[in-house]
Amino acid sequence: MKIAIGADHAGFEYKELLKKQLSKLGHESKDFGTHSLDSVDYPDFAHPVANAVERKEFEIGVLICGSANGVAITANKHQGIRAAICWTEEIASLARQHNNANVVCIPARFVSPELAEKILEKFLTTSFEGGRHENRVNKISC
């Protein structure tokens, strides 16, 4: 699977960890930054990841910031994006099953590195259920 990944300074260390995990799992990823712990603005990384997923250059996006709210709000400004803040494996699973989420947003300040890896793996291995959820997802875009 091709995966776009990005983070602000608060998510930088988790991004680096999750890039290694993606490689171990056999996924191809592109790092949209940031590339250090220096303070940056999360939209500068969330928009490029969302654009890449929206254009279908990548199947899934991964965004990390302190609370995950900023990157999720930014990514969800894009019509083709369904970004979900996931802080448990169950939330990640439901975001995929019921909402067909295509961007996972992880709150680095509120989950452990180990949990972040589990959330990402659950997000990547869970499929959209379709059915009654399809009609709901189709109503999201205006």
Could you list the active site residues? 65, 98
Phi-psi region of 58 (alpha: psi -120 to 50; beta: other; left: phi over 0): beta
With vertex at residue 104, the alpha carbon angle to CA 98 and CA 110, rounded to the nearest 5 degrees, is 110
Please name the residues in contact with 59: beta carbons below 8 A apart, sequence gap of 6 or more: 1, 2, 3, 53, 102
Token digits for 38?
Answer: 């220096």
Give the pairing type, strands 2-7 and 103-107: unpaired
Decide if 87 contacts 67 (C-beta within 8 A). no
